[in-house]
Structure 1
């Protein structure tokens, strides 16, 4: 299939304080004007406050669909002016690529770099603290407008105005949106979880978590001896 979009903006940068308690976060990105180098661990110059849950090869580059901000602004009108591309900590912003048409394992050319979709983003409390709004992260999760991460297949250079073009699709079954539909179900079928766990390109940590959930559900369905 043909799937492409123009990169509107690039973001990277250092960490900042989220609240009076001084929690640090890398959600405060700065727009990059000009080109950016993408290496195996992400955009050169990008930073993360907690490397145990952010960054690294399986979360090297974060993309968020630019059109999602209109939905967020409608839902949280009091913070509409602050809900602009880059404010959720993404590295890439583009229109036309979304959770509904981007699939786990998709391989994209972005400038001269080649990226593979490795997993969805899991929103956390830091989004709430970033905007001073309770339950924004819950809304992002429940509506499945979470964004997604890439691993870097081939480092390269990218800039605003470059095309992102789908080179290869591993599965027609599981978009980011479909992944969350299964994962967020109260009791998904074991077969649906198995499909997710076996997805080519899915990050190893997600494969482990899905396998553990399958084992737990299987144990629950077995009658006591």
Structure 2
């Protein structure tokens, strides 16, 4: 974890505070990369000047050969193989998508970087994944991969507050947890796990809590 605070929530009676911070240590773990966790996913990508992208990085010649082979397999046996082109948008940060909606259609900052290749038996495997949902599932992985590649890994720390005789505020860590990847804290469940949002609505803070920064 780090001292780089992203958001701060304080109990209205002044006894506790929750801070959301960047979790740099988690970002360095191999398990933080969703492409490493999903063994069914193959994502060969073109070599990039600034990033290591995909499950393997190919030079232009190798990429052309792999693309032609994958396209032939997908067109010849659509019930067994699938090829999903992946587009990258790069403008200070990066993002990945299976679609070409804005900004992935930008002629200057976007382009096709590779493709996700799926084999039905491996995809469905032991995980209960459905072939008809492949595109939606893969886009979800790419959304998490976007967050991971941009370093959007977070943790929360919950402190007990106390004031000493000299009027200084002191903190004692009550609870902490990391490994949350993404920008929508409510959807990630980080605020709920910290104990400051309602169980039926992760966007609604408990009445006793307020965001202060």
User: Which bracket does the TM-score occupy, shorter chain normalised?
Assistant: under 0.3
Under a length normalisation based on structure 1, what TM-score does the superposition of the two structures give?
0.24
Higher strand share: 2
Query: Whose radius of gyration is greater, 1 or 2?
Result: 2
